[in-house]
Amino acid sequence: MNLRNPLLTFRFLFLSIIAIQGADLSGQAIYRTAKKLPDTGQNLSYTNTFGEDNDYSINPPKLALYGKGMVYDSVTTFVWQQGDGGEMTWQQAKKYCDTLTLGGFNDWILPNPYEAFTILNHQNPNPAVDIKLFSKTGAEYWYTSALQANDTSRVWVTNAGGGIGNHPKSETISAGGTKKFHVRAMRYTTNPVTYAERFIDNKNGTVTDNLTDLMWVQVPNAATSTWEDAILLSEYNTTAGYNDWRLPNIKELRSLNDDKRVQPCVNTTAFPGLPQGKFWSSTTLPNQSAKAWYFDNQFGITTYDVKSATLYVMMVRNANAVATTKRVSPGDDGHLYPNPLRDGQITLPSQVRWIEIRNTAGQLILKTSANEVGALNALAPATYIAILLNQEQQVIGTQKIVKD
């Protein structure tokens, strides 16, 4: 039996016309198709400076086989084709998805750029997907449903290296080119959430994005910075009284892209004065660790540069998170209490046996046993990184703490 949800089919037809991740209705309203934005999957460290991608795991990828030939993403609630449909033209890719029957379902679609970018894993260099679940197909690129806003001869594609770019449709072999552009279909399992507006101006120098539940500093620094400095600037930032700002990972950063806009491709009403340029992410290129991913808001591509290059910096935090200026409840796994630290009793999770205290540049300031945790009261007022270790000296938690 072929299963097709009429509402989802209608939504696909509508979304395929506008071909953006957040559809403007009456100027502002959006459809949110992904439940949450998955983490990049980067789980290795490439610097001693706290704040790189590996130091934060927010909505970690949760993929699993789903019937025969399908993969389910419980973070987004999307279902993906486990293999792909092979190399073909963009027009053929659209028809392929619209006529595909797989797993008893025939409501498969060609993902938009935001959706397609969610399944990339930036710890895997090539292909940048979970190869335990997704079949290796030899693809160099995978199509999305979106064409470049000011040039319909170009289509947005994700690539096997982990990026996303705007390529001529003629580059694929079936269109007379030399590259392998493949199609991977997806389908929705839940109905979209509709918001009257995508961006909310919080009137305190920050903007909240209803598409991702992320809060952004509204006006980026005017100056450019190296990658390491971008991390430090973000970690030390206290806009609107929050001190849990960080440098966004490449998925978070690219989520700001609006496929209807170019030069810049970000909503400048929400972000007035945003410069057109390249913006650092916290994500390292795993097979060339001297380089990190960046987002170019001229058109919306993601690619990489050496970490010594100077690029612009945007800063992000979780809109629903409790900032570390507020107290963390005692007994939370992997956290010490209170935070901020004040002279007095300090409580640790039961499995912690050792504590390293480092400054935000990664330099070791103090190492003490859990039995002598009172030594933290002697720290000078500042922001630190607490690394919590078990009996075997294995890291079980990393926490940014403030000493009043």
Domains of the chain: 6-188 (no CATH), 198-318 (3.10.100.10), 324-404 (no CATH)
Return the residue matching tokens 């939504």.
Answer: 11
Are the C-beta atoms of residues 255 and 248 closer than 8 Å to each other? no
**pLDDT tens-digit map of 136-156:** 999 999 999 999 999 999 999
The pLDDT confidence band at residue 258, using thresholds 50, 70 and 90, is very high
Percent helix / strand / coil, the chain, rounded to 5: 15, 30, 55
Would you state the structure tokens that stand for residue 111, as one six-digit string?
């993902």
The pLDDT value given to residue 304: 98
Phi, psi at residue 375, to the nearest 5°? -60, -20
The pLDDT value given to residue 234: 94
Q: Running DSSP on this structure, what letter comes out for residue 386?
A: E
Instruction: State yes or no: pLDDT of 2 exceeds 60.
Output: no
Instruction: State yes or no: pLDDT of 18 exceeds 50.
Output: no
Are the C-beta atoms of residues 279 and 252 closer than 8 Å to each other? no
Element at 117 (helix H, strand E): helix 113-118
The pLDDT value given to residue 3: 53
Instruction: State yes or no: pLDDT of 19 exceeds 90.
Output: no
Least confident of 2-16, 66-80, 116-130: 2-16
Return the residue matching tokens 């809109």.
Answer: 319
**pLDDT tens-digit map of 338-389:** 777 877 778 888 888 999 998 876 788 999 999 999 999 999 988 888 888 8
Are the C-beta atoms of residues 96 and 181 closer than 8 Å to each other? no
Cis amide prior to 349 (ω within 30 degrees): no
In the chain, pLDDT over 70 holds for what percent of residues? 89
Closest CA to 59 of 82, 80, 34, 79: 34
* Paired strand residues for 357: 366, 386
Q: Which residues contact 254 (CB under 8 A, 6 or more apart)?
A: 117, 164, 295, 300, 302
* Paired strand residues for 70: 81
pTM value is 0.80
**pLDDT tens-digit map of 289-342:** 999 999 999 999 999 999 999 999 999 999 987 544 333 333 344 567 777 787
- Tell me the pLDDT of the chain averaged across its residues: 89
How many Cβ atoms from other residues are within 10 Å of residue 190's Cβ?
12
